[in-house]
Amino acid sequence: MASHRKSRPAGTRVAGIRTPALATAALTSVALLSQSANAAPEADDKPSLEEVEKKVDDLYRQAESATDKYNAAKEKTAKQRKRVDTLLDGVAQRTQKLNEAREKLGSFAAAQYRTGASAPDTATFLLADTPQDYFDQTQLMDRMTGRQKIAVDDYVTQQSETMKQRQEATESLETLNETQGDLKTAKATVQRKLAEARELLSKLTAEEKARLAAIEREKQQEAARKAAELARQQAAQQQAQEEAAQQQESGSSSSSGASSSTGSSSSTAPADSSYATKAEKALAFARAQIGKPYVWGAVGPGSYDCSGLTQAAWKAAGVTLPRTTWDQVNAGTTVSLTNAQPGDLVFFYDDLSHVGIYIGNGMMIHAPKPGTYVREESIYYDGESSIHSVVRPA
């Protein structure tokens, strides 16, 4: 028999209390809000602009460091390829001489065959794998004429030298393959780091890019302030040095004071006139490159990386610098930052991955990073702590 019990209204029980449909909907909304609140931290996982900027800068620095490895491997590869070419040319020349010596010995064998003379078996000697062993076993040299001995000596010498140069060429080819492998690895690293940086920047909205540009402007303003402060310090130091020199010339200072002034002057002595002349030429070249793009691995004339620019600038002044920042930092005399003179090289970061050429007043000319152009900028462009050292290259 069918039940006559009335059906319950839509709803659920909470703590033994029947809840109407409206209350259920309210509970559902609370649950959804709770879920949204729980999901909110996931949205906060997006990095801040400051974090993106730091990550991009780190990637550019890593790319510059990899560029130096690329430059070093490229230079080593070029030298090794030149050595291999020289050795292969030598092998070719030695092989020609060996063939000539073999033909000379062959003429002796042919003469023996025609005359039927009971001379040493030169033909058998020519077929021997190890001529010296053949001599030792048959005492062939004791039975040879003077001309034959000279011919055999020449043949043995040419064969020995040819084998030696072939071995050197083989080893040099192996080294060349290794340096080419290093070159490919460094190139791939640079490309990977730059691609990661581009990807990070591509995800920014127009508003975020504008805010990032504002952050960069604030950094540049602070860098300019620090540069002005350094310029004041350098001016005060220069004035103190000039006053000390005047006191020495006039003889007004005491002997102990003169000794003290001399010691102070020697530790912060300005660059001499010959250096200033060379530095002026280097800076004139660097200024002429302003506006040209940064391209990693480039040494001009249309584009540069950081060490390619400093190398080219000082080359214009008649001074040869090594290719990489790691070598350029050792190509001169280290001076204090307050004693930096126009033309000096300013190196950055603990890994020495960047370099610029000082122009005075806390400013430099450098090729900053991919996507930028050669420009004048404060040496504090990435903060005071980023400056590693200052080197006077000539």
Q: What is the pLDDT of residues 285-311, one digit of tens each?
A: 999 999 999 999 999 999 999 999 999
Rounded Cα distance, 36 and 29, in Å: 10
Cβ contacts of 346 within 8 Å, gap of 6 or more: 340, 355, 356, 357, 358, 364, 379, 387, 389, 390
pLDDT one-digit tens code per residue, 65-86: 999 999 999 999 999 999 889 8
Is residue 104 within a helix (H) or strand (E), and if so which, with residue range? helix 49-115
With a cut of 50, say whether residue 1 has pLDDT above it: no
From the CA atom positions of the chain, what is the Rg in Å? 39
Which residues are known catalytic residues? Answer: 306, 354, 366
Rounded Cα distance, 305 and 64, in Å: 9
Measured over the CA atoms of residue 297, residue 301, residue 304 and residue 309, the dihedral's sign is positive
pLDDT band at 92 (very low <50, low <70, confident <90, very high): confident
Q: Is the pTM value of this prediction over 0.85?
A: no
Give me 357's structure tokens.
Answer: 């050429």
